[in-house]
Amino acid sequence: MQLSVERLDPSEPGPGQVRLRLGAGGICGSDLHYYQHGRAGVFAIRAPFVPGHEASGVVEAVGEGVTSVRVGQKVAVNPAHPCRACAACRMGRSNLCERMVFLGSAAIFPHIAGLFREQFVVAERQLTGIDEDVSLGEIACAEPLSVGLHAVRRAGELLGATVLVTGAGTIGCMAVIAARLAGAGRVIACDPSERAREMALTVGADEALADSSALKGVADVAIEAAGHPLALASCLSAVRRGARIVQVGTLPAEISFPANDIMSRELDYVGAFRADIEFDWAVQAIRTRRADVRPLISAQFPISQSKAAFDLALDKGRSTKVQLIPG
């Protein structure tokens, strides 16, 4: 796909809206899929659109009735805008909202512009003001941390548990952090990349393996964050009987699946998609540095150098989280 930088006029905030200047915007795996393939999973680009859903900002202007944030304040931006009325929302699972508006996603058409813009307008309810001395780059990591927290929440009770995380990219490392916050007794990360393994150890893994195929029946929970069939196979062999596997990575559309193994060993296989209340938890963990995400931020590029930023983000041997900033 073609990536270009264009100049647009800023919009004025309406009632209940806030105009932000971008603080930092993280390039996510889905953004890279759009860049390389024109689609992320089943969500295909059908018209030009602006990607980006991991962002922080600084308040530039507020619309009528806005009271929770003020001009000049740093904010975390929740890209999810659920309807709050459908069955999923009423069940407390707004991440599965039937009418979700998710910034920077091609899931609906016309596409909703994302956050890789120097200025943008969002609803007040999507913002959390932050006064603590944490960087805008850290604040922009709230969304990927929320994904890790949601995966861990879907895993169930982890106090004292042995947890395997396959894939030590951004989401895998966020799952490591989240497992630690949940009280896991032992966290094992697995990734073929030496740099990724070192990063997993930096953020709290006890062990980091290039290959987990030798692990047999040792994990109480496995979190698949690599999005690769071989990683899923490792999860299946590494967990004990009666364990739980959480899929957070996006796997290929067609894979071989050992359904009988799930049955005979009574394994729980669950999905984890985006996040719900975990976004608020992520903001709180970052603003207090109970979760220190600073090691994951590899580089920041001005928006004018977006192609260089995307190309670096594709090189997992040199980067974990690459962010765009104004300029």
- Residue 102 pLDDT exceeds 80: yes
- pLDDT confidence of residue 9: 80
- Which pLDDT band, with edges at 50, 70 and 90, does 200 fall under? very high
- Which pLDDT band, with edges at 50, 70 and 90, does 314 fall under? very high
Q: Where do the domains of the chain lie, and which CATH numbers do they carry?
A: 17-141+293-325 (3.90.180.10), 147-271 (3.40.50.720)
- Element spanning 123, H or E: strand 119-123
- pLDDT confidence of residue 108: 86
- pLDDT confidence of residue 304: 95
Closest CA to 76 of 225, 281, 254, 258: 281
> Average pLDDT for residues 53-75, to the nearest whole number?
98
For residue 110, say if its preceding peptide bond is cis, omega within 30 degrees of 0: yes
CB 25 within 8 A of CB 309: no
- pLDDT confidence of residue 40: 83
What pLDDT, in 10s, does the model give residues 129-174? 999 999 999 999 999 999 999 999 999 999 999 999 999 999 999 9
> Of the ranges 1-5, 128-132, 306-310, which one carries the lowest mean pLDDT score?
1-5
Of 41-50, 80-89, 106-115, give the range with the top mean pLDDT.
Answer: 80-89
- Residue 1 pLDDT exceeds 80: no
| Phi (first) and psi of residue 30, to 5 degrees | -65, -35
Bridge partners (DSSP) of residue 40 are: 43
For the chain, percent of residues with pLDDT exceeding 70? 100
Mean of pLDDT over the chain:
95
> Of the ranges 34-43, 48-57, 309-318, which one carries the lowest mean pLDDT score?
34-43
> Average pLDDT for residues 78-105, to the nearest whole number?
95
- Which pLDDT band, with edges at 50, 70 and 90, does 4 fall under? confident
Q: Give CA 68 to chain center in angstroms.
A: 25
- Which pLDDT band, with edges at 50, 70 and 90, does 43 fall under? confident
What pLDDT, in 10s, does the model give residues 249-302? 988 888 888 899 999 999 999 999 999 999 999 999 999 999 999 999 999 999
> Average pLDDT for residues 197-218, to the nearest whole number?
96
Residues 184, 207: Cα–Cα separation, whole Å: 13
Tokens found for residue 209: 């393996």
Work out the angle between the directed axes of helices 142-155 and 170-181 (0-180°, nearest 10): 60
Cα–Cα distances in Å, from 148 out to 63, 156, 223, 247? Answer: 33, 13, 9, 11
> Average pLDDT for residues 190-205, to the nearest whole number?
97
- pLDDT confidence of residue 117: 95
Residue in the structure block whose two tokens are 């999507």: 126
> Average pLDDT for residues 106-119, to the nearest whole number?
92
- pLDDT confidence of residue 280: 97
User: From the DSSP assignment, how many helices (H) and strands (E) are in the chain?
Assistant: 10, 17
- pLDDT confidence of residue 41: 78
- pLDDT confidence of residue 10: 80
